[in-house]
Amino acid sequence: MTLPRFLQIHTLTPYAAALLNRDDVGRAKRLPFGGVNRTRVSSQCLKRHWRTAVGDWSLEGLGAPMSVRSRQTFVQQVAQPLREEGFAEEAILAVVEAFQAVLLGESAKAKAEKAKGKDKDAENERDLLADLKTGQVLVLGRPEVEFILSQARTLLTAATTAKEARKAVEALFKDKETLANLKALRLAAGLDAALFGRMVTSDILARGDAAVHVAHSFTVHGEESEPEFFTAVDDLEKAAGELGSGMMGDSELTSGLFYGYVVIDLPLLVSNLEGCAVADWEKADRTLATGVVERLIRLIASVSPGAKLGSTAPYAYAHTVLVELGDRQPRTLANAFLKPVRVAAGDDLAARANEQLAGYLNRFDGMYGPGEQRLIASLDDVPGLSATHLTGLADLTGQVLAALGGKPS
């Protein structure tokens, strides 16, 4: 059985009266494409919602540990447990700072700023461990956090000064057995880091290339937005005969049919999850990888990003899901909508978008030749598209898993 290298997932999802992803001034994010401004949702926003989704298809339901994403990891997950065990704060600070310096690196400027902060904290009698908060969000796996905690606990029994702590930590990570043990931890960086990658500058922590590539989604037509003026009524003032407006404000609402695109690099996914060489992915256990694929397809089709949940209820499922399996380099179908879809009053926007998608794929095949197995599930018929048309998402995911040598859960 020959396994495909890439899995490409294309979706068309409609939203009405929503504000899915806001910029720094509270307006909907936008993207110029094909000479027309489109409403968009960032890939970071999409991945965040898929990572944290709850329910039958959540990633956490796979049972693999997720990553810890925070600036407070060394404070809450390492230093505070050590303090609760009775170690002195000054000693904890010295040891954990030494771990940060070795694992994350520390510039002279950062050291100087930290020293200033310590002097100020000493004057105000603030918690010394607050200095362990990092300048940026770190992505660490639970096994890595537990490793740091256990090693710090051991070193605290011997190191009494910051200089001694730094030397002890540096010696620890020069030990080949220590490094081998750390790198041997399966899923050390966490499940979501195995999927979406992790950027680190340390030579000790493993840098992770993303096995799942996510594009910004955007409307297949020009932006459609409406200013939203609102008021909050003061019930007591209104009862007293006043006008009753406690406040006035405005925001923005948008509507649109969004094209989404995700690529899964299957060899890299298996390698990240199982710790095998990429070249050996077909021989490795692919149970977890097929579980990830199944859940991701479900999440992509059904999980909605969205600000203003309480006032817009921006929940929608994909109208069309097209999956492609193959070996050649992936390519987006965004260019099917380089010319924005235009409809007259009463026309079916989703049907027109499907037609435009099918027409582009046919032209693409005419130029480059067909190269992927295609499976599609849609609320509408998609005539003219060379693909296996399925009755629903369950059938689609079942056939995808069969192609990967797995079974639906």
- pLDDT per residue as tens, the chain (409 positions): 689 999 999 999 999 999 999 998 888 999 999 999 999 999 999 999 999 999 999 999 999 988 898 999 999 999 999 999 988 888 888 888 888 887 887 644 455 555 565 555 555 555 778 888 988 888 888 888 998 899 899 888 877 677 787 788 888 878 888 777 776 666 678 899 899 998 775 666 767 889 999 999 999 999 998 877 676 777 777 666 676 666 766 678 999 999 999 999 999 999 999 988 999 999 999 999 999 999 999 999 999 997 788 889 999 999 999 999 999 999 999 999 999 999 888 889 999 999 999 999 999 999 999 999 999 999 999 989 989 999 999 999 999 999 999 888 7
* Token pair 């590539």 in the structure block, residue: 213
Six-digit token pair at 180? 């081998």
Residue 108: what pLDDT?
Answer: 45
Angle at 11 between CA 341 and CA 27, to 5 degrees: 70
- pLDDT at position 204 is 66
Contact 182, 188 (CB under 8 A): yes
Neighbours of 383 (CB within 10 A): 10
By the 8 A CB rule, do 14 and 256 touch? yes
* Amino acid found at 257: L
- Three-point CA angle 185, 203, 130, nearest 5°: 85
- Please report where in the chains the tokens 């380089």 appear, as a residue: 338
Unique residue bearing structure tokens 């009463």: 346
Task: Write down the domain spans for the chain.
Answer: 6-66+211-403, 68-189
Where helices occur in 125-265 by DSSP H, the ranges are 142-156, 162-172, 176-183, 191-196, 235-239
**Chain centre to alpha carbon of residue 343:** 33
- Asked if 184 and 171 touch (Cβ cutoff 8 Å), the reply is no
Q: What is the mean pLDDT of the chain?
A: 87
Place of tokens 């200095």: 131
DSSP classification of residue 380: S
Most distant CA atoms of the chain, gap in Å: 78
Q: What angle do CA 307, 63, 43 make, to 5 degrees?
A: 30
Q: Angle CA(198)–CA(199)–CA(201) in degrees, nearest 5?
A: 135
DSSP assignment letter at 345 = T
Give pTM, 2 decimals: 0.88
43-52 vs 287-302: helix axis angle to the nearest 10?
Answer: 120
CA 245 to chain centre: 40
